[in-house]
Every structure is written in C-alpha cells, then in structure tokens.
Amino acid sequence: MNVSIVYGGTSEERFASAKNAHDIADALNSRGYNTKLIEFGHDIMATIKAADTDVVFVCTQGKGHGDGTLQGMLEHENIPYTGSGLRAASLINDKILCKSLFDKYNIRTPKWEILEKEDYDNKNFDFAAFGYPFVAKAPTQGGSFGIALIQNEGELSKIDDIFKYDDPILLEKYVKGKFYTAGIYESKGEIISLPVVEGQDLDLNKSDPDAPELIVFTGNYDATAARLDKDTEDEILRVARKVWNITYARGLARVDFMVSNEDSKPYVLEINAVPGLKRYSLMPKEAEIMGIAYEDFIEEILLTALNQHQDR
C-alpha cells in the first residue's frame, strides 16, 4: 500500500511537522507500507497523484496547511486521509472559534478576549483591566509558535510579534498550574480515550519556581502518567470527549488542559486536530501507557482513515 505522508508548508510549524513525518514513515515502513514524504507546496495534489497514493497521512500544521486546506483538496479527489475532515480541521485551527464554542457549551476555559491591531496601535484596549499575566496567541498557528507570555505592561511589546501571524489575536488569562493532555483516537469504529498525561517542558527556566511558565514543547519535554485525584482525571476525560464531539473531530485529536493551582480545576486550553506524533510526543506516550506500541498506534490511525473512507 502506498502511503503519502504530507508535512510542513510555509508556516512556522514546518520543521516540527517534518520531524513527525519522519518518525511516522519509519513506523509504517517497519510494517511493510511503501511510504513517501511529501512537503506541502503549490503542486501538492499533482505530487500526491504521481506517487500513486492509496492514503495520505496528514502531518501539516499551521495557517494555510493545518486549517482544512489539504483535507478539502483530498476530499475533492476522493483520496482517503488521516484525522479530522475539512469542517473540523478548519474549526479546530481557529482558536477564537474554539473559545466561542467552549463558552457556548459551558466548558471551563481561561478568561479570554479578542484584540485587533487597530485597537492595540491606538491604545484602545485596557490591559490592566483584563489582568496580568496573560498569554497572547495567534489564533491560526499551532501551539508552539505565535505565542507569548505577557507578565506586565513592560512586556506588551511582545504582542507586536504575534500580530505578524494574525489579526485579530487572542488574549488568554494565564492559569498557573500543571499541564495535562488527553488524547482521543478511533479504532475499529470505537472512540477511545487515552490515559491523561502530565507534560513537562524540560527547557523551562526553573530558577524561580513561582514564576509564570509558558509551556510550548518546542524542544525537550517529558510526559508521565497523570498524578491526579480520580475526580479531576475523570473530569478531564469527560470534558475532552465533549470537546471532541462539539468540534466534529475524527480519527485522532489531543485536548490540552491546565489544572489551576488556585482552585484545582481543569481549564481547557485548546484541541489539536493534528497532534504531534513523533515517537516520544505526548499522544504516543499516552498510547504507550495504555500498552500500545508506537508502530501499532500509527498503523491503527492509518487503518481507521481507510475504514472511514469506505464507510462514507
């Protein structure tokens, strides 16, 4: 079977996407699949067709690439692909739309506001009233780029860089606590919740344990089984499934949370429709805790895509 692994694009997520693609290729090659790495470009569909592709493994991330663009083209050509469809991919890639959905369905998420560049330039936004510290996010970028922690008025200039990605941008109140993530995937027609894991960014400066930390997982990180009370872990799993449902996710997704030090409650940060799938990424770590080998996990994602395509 010919599997085209499509990665990258022109967004800042390109290099992380390429790392995912190489590990996925190694896993599928070990199972006898014929894989081809294809970088997203202007002639992407011609390249996919030239490879005699049976199914596409989607690794594209970021604006213009992880936003449903590729999924739409593949659906038009009736080519099976992994993960969420056009509708979900475009929705999930927009953090502002997701925040609106969270509010609509009473899902606990950090306080947030929309900031337009015109209001920022004209000083029409009251940052003090919104409250420090907060996180500024480019709403259509992945979780590792187009993001900055603003701790006080002296750091507002960081917002200039965020506007290079998007306008408007998202402001989100910073929640001090621990980062947890809950993966969900489909297998043989069943939606399966993976174990909750605690993520730790090993590149963070730990010199001040009380200082706010922005966890972006761009470099070295670790994931361990969650050390949570059963009620909190059950709530994370329940809310993750609810987020999956309201965003029309399919195939696989990862929902990220912060459990607040202040009130011990989990807050949804975002859902990722194209989660990192490097061998030691967060979601494969969850699968490993459940006893699923990396190669088995990657192959099941692929087989689910083929089965769902046949069922349409």
DSSP string, 49-107: HHTT-SEEEE---STTTSSSHHHHHHHHTT--BSS--HHHHHHHT-HHHHHHHHHHTT-
**CA pair distance 41, 279, nearest whole angstrom:** 26
β-partners of residue 49 are none
Q: What is the pLDDT along the chain (312 residues), one digit of tens a residue?
A: 999 999 986 555 678 889 999 999 999 999 999 999 999 988 999 999 999 999 999 999 766 556 788 999 999 999 999 999 999 999 999 999 999 999 999 999 999 999 999 999 999 999 999 999 999 999 988 766 789 999 999 999 999 999 999 999 999 999 999 999 999 999 999 999 999 999 875 444 444 555 566 665 555 556 788 889 999 999 999 999 999 999 999 999 999 999 999 999 999 999 999 999 999 999 999 999 999 999 999 999 999 999 999 876
Claim: this prediction has a pTM higher than 0.75? yes
Residue 296, token pair as written in the block = 């088995």
CB-based burial label for 282 (10 Å; 0-12, 13-18, 19+) = buried
The residues, ordered by sequence, that sit 6+ positions from 97 with a Cβ below 8 Å of its Cβ are: 91, 139
* pLDDT given for residue 207 in this prediction: 45
Instruction: List strand residue ranges (DSSP E) for the chain, in order.
Output: 2-7, 34-39, 55-58, 112-115, 134-137, 147-150, 169-173, 177-187, 190-193, 197-201, 221-225, 252-260, 266-272
The residues, ordered by sequence, that sit 6+ positions from 211 with a Cβ below 8 Å of its Cβ are: 205
Q: Alpha-carbon dihedral of residues 273, 278, 281, 284, nearest 10 degrees?
A: 80
**CA pair distance 224, 246, nearest whole angstrom:** 28
- Is 69 within 8 Å of 44 (Cβ atoms)? no
**CA pair distance 290, 284, nearest whole angstrom:** 10
- Is 63 within 8 Å of 11 (Cβ atoms)? yes
Domains of the chain: 2-83 (3.40.50.20), 92-108+176-311 (3.30.470.20), 112-173 (3.30.1490.20)
The DSSP symbol for 145 reads S
* pLDDT given for residue 8 in this prediction: 86
- Is 142 within 8 Å of 65 (Cβ atoms)? no
Residue 194, token pair as written in the block = 């993976």
**CA pair distance 62, 141, nearest whole angstrom:** 5
**CA pair distance 59, 19, nearest whole angstrom:** 10
CB-based burial label for 304 (10 Å; 0-12, 13-18, 19+) = buried
- Is 123 within 8 Å of 115 (Cβ atoms)? no
- Is 240 within 8 Å of 181 (Cβ atoms)? no
- Is 162 within 8 Å of 136 (Cβ atoms)? yes
* pLDDT given for residue 41 in this prediction: 86
b or e along 19-39 (b: 16 or more beta carbons within 10 Å of the residue's beta carbon)?
bbbbbbbebbeeeebebbbbb
